[in-house]
């Protein structure tokens, strides 16, 4: 039997975002359950299940886009967790935000790095500084 979009999406959501993703969907149940269903079916069922990109690549793109958009820190934190869950190192997450500086600006990159700092602290993850600061 073929899986429904919802089943596929829910599997991807749990695999990528774990309890954080489930908490987002649960928080929508009382106010906008259809929004939760759209997230599961469309974003995680249709988009995340496409074969051209790996889940790691999708999470790097997602955290880059959320960083560049700015004002999406709650969603960014969920996807930083998703990036860690898919095997992306904390160092690559920080480097991704540094790459966004020339295009999105320092304030958005700073917000993203501070969101990552919170997620890393919650998970007891310590990134290794990739480079000593120059003076």
Which of 100, 92, 95 has its CA nearest to residue 72?
100
Please write the tens of the pLDDT for every residue from 5-27: 999 999 999 999 988 888 999 99
Give the residue ranges of the chain where pLDDT is below 50.
Answer: none
Tokens of 125: 């993850």
Percent helix, strand and coil across the chain, each rounded to 5?
75, 0, 25
The pLDDT score that the predictor gives to residue 107 is: 98
103 CB-near residues (< 8 Å, 6+ apart): 68
Comparing C-alpha atoms, which of 100, 110, 91 is closest to residue 68? Answer: 100
Is-contact 100 68, C-beta < 8 A?
Answer: yes
User: What is the predicted pLDDT for the residue at 133?
Assistant: 63
């Amino acid at each position: 039997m073929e899986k429904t979009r919802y089943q596929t999406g829910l599997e991807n959501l749990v695999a990528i975002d774990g309890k954080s993703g489930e908490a987002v969907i649960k928080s929508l149940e009382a106010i906008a359950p259809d929004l939760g269903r759209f997230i599961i079916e469309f974003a995680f069922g249709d988009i995340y299940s496409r074969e051209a990109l790996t889940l790691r690549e999708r999470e790097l793109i997602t955290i880059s886009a959320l960083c560049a958009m700015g004002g999406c820190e709650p969603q960014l934190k969920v996807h930083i967790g998703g990036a860690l869950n898919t095997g992306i190192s904390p160092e690559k997450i920080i480097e991704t935000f540094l790459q966004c500086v020339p295009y999105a600006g320092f304030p958005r990159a700073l917000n993203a790095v501070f969101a990552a700092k919170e997620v890393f602290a919650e998970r007891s993850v310590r990134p290794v500084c990739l480079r000593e600061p120059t003076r």
